[in-house]
Structure 1
Amino acid sequence: MANPVPALQQITGLILAGGRGTRMGAVDKGLQQLHGEPLVAHAIRRLQAQVGSLAISANRNPEQYARFGLPLWTDLEPDFPGPLAGLQAALTHCQTPWLLAVPCDSPFLPLDLADRLRAGLTPATPHAAIAVSGDPAQPRRHPVFCLLHTSLLPQLTHYLQAGERKMDRWFANVPAAEVCFPDEQAFCNINTLQELHQLESDTQ
């Protein structure tokens, strides 16, 4: 028998905004402006209706992030170890059995992300789903857009304590459903200030 699809109220949304922003000149990426709003605000607006509750993973500028009125969760490990550390902290704190993570630098993330990922869970992949896009024969994986069950926390903690940081490598050892999305542009992410300015110009 197939596992029941998680209800939206069973899912905590997480916006990952805790990185170094190295390719942006070490600025806090989530607070950079697109069309007069911080990138994190775009992610909040698109994700909020898809989940039961929402939080932000942030390691800097807590006063500015606090203005959004959401819980702020910082990494449990020092020195910005990457998005998996943000997931670890969130799986530790969230009060629901499921966590849906997105990056702060993808302002056009799918409005049906939660619906598709939760429907994509299977008996063979009951605890995780990630987004993919493009050619189904050679899909482009977007593991930072993921739905995770909180039971994965011990495995993730062990992986991080072993000094590992790569998200792709962790998911290689976690059976995860790969859910295809037709709109690859929904997953476009902004890595540099030049890309941010170009996107703002292209979407006026």
Structure 2
Amino acid sequence: MDFFPDVTLAVVAGGQGRRLSGVPKGLLKLGDRTVLERLLELSPLFAEVLLVANTPEPYARFGLRTVADVVEGKGAPGGVHAAMAGAKTAWVLAVACDMPFVMPEVVRVLLEARSPEVDAVCFTVEGRVEPLLAVYRSTLAGPWGGALQQGDPSLRELLSQCRPQLLPEEALRAVDPEMNSRVNVNTPEDLLRYGLSLP
């Protein structure tokens, strides 16, 4: 089993799932386990697990170190920024809390693509960057914080301002042929499609 002592696993819980009756999406269930519990199965790979949640109370029973957004009201970019700012390691793997099928093999591909010349590693699927299953250098917290205070950049815009290593779709398919690792659950239709239930 690999271990990456310079990486924090950051689960970005963000806001409430408005299209899912306002439930905390990390508590959606697949069988008898929550999505967050499934993501925490990755934790042996990492130095620490960090939960980014502006409303941490629903997740209290997991006993995770929790941080809130530093720059409020910025959605996913604010969540990833909070993870970088809160991490004690050089790198952060940011994963959305509503991704039930993230595979260790996929995580390993991202982490092994890091290099001194790179600030972030992401997959591209159908020409679009996947910023919420990606690895970021924690030192990006400074410049990204400044950009978030000045405007509303998307994660893709923020990535374009650093040195990203964009992995092709084939790199994901090689270890996850169905590409289930990138699935996130946002709507009642998604619950049905992937067999999840409300907490």
Which residue identity is paired with 1:129?
A: V
- For residues 43 and 88 of structure 1, do their structure 2 counterparts lie closer, same or farther at Cα, with a shift above 3 Å needed? same
Question: For residue 181 of structure 2, what is the aligned residue in structure 1?
Answer: 186
Please tell me whether the aligned partners of residues 35 and 97 of structure 2 are also in contact (alpha carbons under 8 angstroms).
Answer: yes
Paired residue for 2:120?
Answer: 128
Unaligned 5+ segments in structure 1 are 1-6
Instruction: Confirm or deny that 1:155 pairs with 2:148.
Output: no
Q: Percent identity?
A: 27
The equivalent of 1:63 in structure 2 is 57
Which amino acid in the other structure matches residue 59 of structure 1? N
Partners of 1:120 and 1:178 within 8 A in 2: no
What residue number does 1:73 align with?
67
Q: Which amino acid aligns with 1:16?
A: V
Give the distance between the partners of 1:78 and 1:128, measured in 2 at CA: 23
Match in the other structure for 2:193: 198
Secondary structure at the counterpart of residue 64 of structure 2: coil
Alignment partner, residue 29 of structure 1? 25
Task: State which of 44, 49, 53 in structure 1 corresponds to 2:44.
Answer: 49
- Looking at structure 2, the residues matched to 141 and 23 of structure 1 have their Cα atoms a distance apart, in angstroms, of 24
Q: 1:94-128 deviations in whole A, cap 9, x for unaligned? A: 1111111111111111212332112212454x221
Where structure 2 has 5 or more consecutive residues not aligned to the other structure, the ranges are none
Normalization by structure 2: what TM-score?
Answer: 0.84
How many aligned residue pairs are there?
187
Distance 1:85 1:22 in 2: 18
CA-to-aligned-CA distance 1:113-162 (integer Å, 9 cap, x gap)? 332112212454x22111234xxxx5443111111111111111011011
- Amino acid in the other structure paired with 2:124: V
Question: 1:139-196 deviations in whole A, cap 9, x for unaligned?
Answer: 4431111111111111110110112241111112222111231122221111112311
SS at match of 1:112: helix
User: Is the strand fraction higher in 1 or 2?
Assistant: 2
Question: Are 1:82 and 1:165, in contact at CA under 8 Å, matched by a contact in 2?
Answer: no
* 2:105 alignment partner AA: D
CA RMSD of aligned residues (A): 2.0
Q: Could you tell me the TM-score, scaled by structure 1's length?
A: 0.82
Q: CA deviation at 1:68?
A: 1.1
Query: Is 1:111 equivalent to 2:104 in the alignment?
Result: yes
Cα distance in 1, alignment partners of residues 107 and 183 from structure 2: 18
Cα distance in 2, alignment partners of residues 121 and 93 from structure 1: 20
1:167 to 125, 139, 155: 155
Tell me, in whole angstroms, the C-alpha distance in 1 between the residues paired with 2:57 and 2:195.
26
CA deviations over 1:13-55 (Å, ceiling 9, x no partner):
101111232332432211222212222112112x212212111
